[in-house]
Amino acid sequence: MSMDVLQEKIRQKKNPTVAGLDPRLEFIPAHILQEAYDQYGHTLQGAAEAYRLFCRGLIDALHDVVPAVKPQSAYFEVLGSAGIAVLEELCAYAKSQGLYVIMDAKRGDIGSTCEAYASAYLGGVQVGDQIISPFDCDSVTVNGYLGTDALKPFTTLCKARNKSIFLLVKTSNQSSRELQDLIAGDRVVHTVVADLAIRLTDKEQLMGASGWSAIGAVVGATHPKDLKALREKYQKLFFLVPGYGAQGGKAKDVQYAFDRFGHGAVVNSSRGIMCAWQKTGGDGHDFMDAARAEAIRMRDDIGRFVTVL
């Protein structure tokens, strides 16, 4: 199962972090914007070209430091098809550089529609005599509000194509409590979702050799008590932990996401790494060095509390 692949990449680099690719035009150095606009003007294609240059630079700077990248689909969708074309290229490029690619798309729908989402991000589509994969990511984030119908098309591909998914359990934002923390009988709603992941893991035989299900869970760094309780309760679920850095989560908070071997979690940072150049006093020509230095600083910061064995 694919969560084995992620755990192994983390072990090799001794770094349980993932770099989020959430590009926004205001995060991109002026000389890159200029180059892109010179070529395509103030168009969606111009903006997409700036994303492309910036994110390829980040991948080049980070690929031997971090085990994984997590592109956030929303920031590419806002540029329409021009953004999606760049997203396709970046997924392929990150994979070619040995990175595990987690598409942060938070998809969820009824079964037949979810088959299309699963095919889009983890599988492929049959066109005449060809099977074509537009993104072919290693993993995708999934929203479980619609229940197991929305998960099965993804888990089918997890098994068939050695992929994984991360199910939204307890998200990092403040209003996550409105639904996710409701008490339903003797369970909190977000544990009902985690229980679905466990049930499906057993039913569909999704356990990997390294002891993690192909269904992981998104659990925010901003709720360390929940993180700790969930880690203790769900020992088969690998955690994707957003909320470190810009959103307020600290290294001492995220340590609770890991087991005693320093396994079972990967911590995301997006803005901290992407915007590191804005804090060097330079003009952005150093964005790759700055991103790399911040990724190393983050690795070492978390390393004060967690040692990956």
| Near its own copies in 168-197, by CB under 8 A | 168, 171-180, 182-185, 189, 192-193, 196
Give the footprint of its own copies on residues 62-81 (CB under 8 A).
72, 74-75, 77-81
Task: Give the angle subtended at the CA of 136 by the CAs of 33 and 114, to the nearest 5°.
Answer: 105
Helix (H, G, I), strand (E, B) or coil at 276: helix
Q: Does 149 bind its own copies (CB under 8 A)?
A: yes
Q: How far apart are CA 207 and CA 216, in angstroms?
A: 11
Out of 95, 116, 210, 259, name the contact with its own copies by CB under 8 A: 116
The interface region with its own copies, picked from 37-45, 94-102, 155-163, 274-282 by CB under 8 A, is: 37-45
Is 106 considered catalytic here?
yes
Return the number of the residue (13 or 52) whose C-beta is nearest its own copies: 52
Q: How far apart are CA 7 and CA 100, in angstroms?
A: 10
Q: Among 106, 152, 159, 228, which one carries the catalytic annotation? A: 106
The DSSP code for 187 is E
Helical H runs in 174-286?
Answer: 177-180, 189-204, 224-233, 251-254, 271-274
Least CB distance to its own copies at residue 79 (A): 7
Q: How far apart are CA 203 and CA 201, in angstroms?
A: 6
Q: Give the residue among 18, 6, 62, 15 at the shortest CA–CA distance from 299.
A: 15
Q: Does 111 bind its own copies (CB under 8 A)?
A: yes
β-pair type (139-142, 100-107) = parallel
Least CB distance to its own copies at residue 56 (A): 17
Helix axes 111-121, 152-161, angle to 10 degrees: 30
- CB–CB of 16/262 below 8 Å? yes
Give the footprint of its own copies on residues 263-302 (CB under 8 A).
none
Out of 27, 54, 117, 234, name the contact with its own copies by CB under 8 A: 117
Return the number of the residue (5 or 53) whose C-beta is nearest its own copies: 53
Helix (H, G, I), strand (E, B) or coil at 163: coil
The interface region with its own copies, picked from 51-59, 125-133, 225-233, 258-266 by CB under 8 A, is: 125-133
Binding mask 219-258 for its own copies (x = CB under 8 A): -----------------------x----------------
Token pair 């998200």 in the structure block, residue: 171
Burial label for 126, CB within 10 Å (0-12, 13-18, 19+), is exposed
How many residues sit in the footprint of its own copies (CB under 8 A)?
73
Least CB distance to its own copies at residue 191 (A): 11
- CB–CB of 242/166 below 8 Å? no
Return the number of the residue (56 or 177) whose C-beta is nearest its own copies: 177
Q: Does 30 bind its own copies (CB under 8 A)?
A: no
Return the number of the residue (206 or 306) whose C-beta is nearest its own copies: 206
Looking at the annotation, which residues are catalytic? 106
